[in-house]
């Protein structure tokens, strides 16, 4: 029974690492500013003031 639980826990950790890697890779690959992409959902456009407010909060000012 302990071996089964250990295998399940190891599989869960591996799956979380794979998912985190995929999400991180997609964020790096997608062009543009993440704040602008997030704020312009729904077909609208983000205002420069909103982008300026959110960019430092999400620390997306560092170069990749």
Residue 24 DSSP SS3: helix
Q: Residue 60: what are its φ and ψ, rounded to 5°?
A: -95, 20
CA distances from 47 to 15, 43, 52 (A): 37, 13, 9
Query: How do residues 13-59 score in pLDDT, each as one tens digit?
Result: 999 999 999 998 987 887 777 777 777 776 677 788 877 777 776 66
Q: What is the pLDDT of residue 61?
A: 55
pLDDT value for 62: 58
pLDDT given for residue 58 in this prediction: 63
Rounded Cα–Cα distance for residues 39 and 18 (Å): 27
Give 8's pLDDT tier (boundaries 50, 70, 90).
Answer: very high
């Amino acid at each position: 029974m302990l071996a089964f639980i250990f295998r399940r826990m190891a599989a869960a950790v591996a799956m979380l690492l794979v998912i985190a890697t995929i999400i991180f890779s997609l964020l790096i690959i997608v062009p543009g500013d993440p704040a602008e992409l997030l704020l312009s959902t729904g077909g609208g456009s983000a205002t420069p003031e909103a982008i300026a407010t959110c960019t430092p909060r999400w620390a997306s000012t560092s170069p990749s």
